[in-house]
Amino acid sequence: MEKKPVRPRDAASLILLRERGSRLEVLLGRRGTGARFMPGRYVFPGGRVIPEDARRWAGERGDGAPAFLALKHAALRETFEETGLVVGEAARRAANANDALTPVEEAYLARGLAPAPALLRLVGRAITPTASPIRFHARFFLADGRHAAGKLAPCEELDDLRWHPVEDEPPGPTQNVTKFMLRCAVEAWRDAAPASPPLYWHRGRRSLVRHGVPAR
């Protein structure tokens, strides 16, 4: 009996870009060689959505719920866990230090920042091939590295973490989907992105791109 494809799990990645002089740089890290997904590949920080990502964080601005809140939280949380950076804005009010805070909320509080999901812009989606034993429906968000605070701290999941010029070749093995999403992010940075973020998917061994589909 043919085995049914694994259902994709919701996931999110954050593409951080920053300008250094005339150069545009992107933050990339290398997944460990023992990782179950994309081992040894250079990727953006990111990972799967967990239930806690759906709630509003301490100190987060409450004037209007941003789209894709749980997905944006996942991108911000995973970025903190894998890089040590938090992406936010100056806090309007202090979070209640007596509340039970998660590590990422504590990191925002320690830096005097507030979580700011609205700073993240969706630039593309990707669905892992059906043949993969681990599958994700990943959303890729762009944020300006100027809003990132903290010291880069490589972890077990992501090492060789550094800013890399986007015009250069990747520092090591990189999946085509990562290269594609980087191009999408650069287009958005330069205000040249399509109206609807593209979907990167697969039919058999072929990689396909679909435009004009609603983001969800």
Give me the pLDDT at residue 1, please.
Answer: 47
Residue recorded with tokens 């999403």: 181
Measured over the CA atoms of residue 79, residue 178, residue 22 and residue 155, the dihedral's sign is positive
Distances (CA, A) of 32 to 36, 135, 161: 9, 18, 12
Q: How many angstroms separate the CA atoms of 175 and 43, rounded?
A: 8
What DSSP designation does 64 have?
A: S
Distances (CA, A) of 196 to 39, 120, 121: 31, 15, 12
What is the DSSP track for 184-204? HHHHHHTT---SS--EEEEET
Q: How many angstroms separate the CA atoms of 93 and 117, rounded?
A: 17
Give me the pLDDT at residue 2, please.
Answer: 55
- Which long-range contacts does 207-214 make (Cβ < 8 Å, 24+ apart)? 207/176, 207/177, 209/180
Q: How many angstroms separate the CA atoms of 77 and 164, rounded?
A: 22
Tens place of pLDDT per residue across the chain (216 aa): 456 778 899 999 999 999 999 999 999 999 988 888 888 999 999 999 999 999 999 999 766 667 789 999 999 999 999 999 999 999 876 656 557 899 999 999 999 999 999 999 999 999 999 888 889 999 999 999 999 999 999 888 899 999 999 999 999 999 999 999 999 999 999 999 988 999 999 888 888 899 877 676
| Domain 9-210 annotated CATH 3.90.79.10 | yes
Distances (CA, A) of 27 to 1, 17, 173, 176: 44, 7, 15, 17
Give me the pLDDT at residue 216, please.
Answer: 67
Give me the pLDDT at residue 39, please.
Answer: 87
Q: Where are the domains of the chain?
A: 9-210
Question: How many Cβ atoms from other residues are within 10 Å of residue 138's Cβ?
Answer: 27
Whole-structure pTM value? 0.92
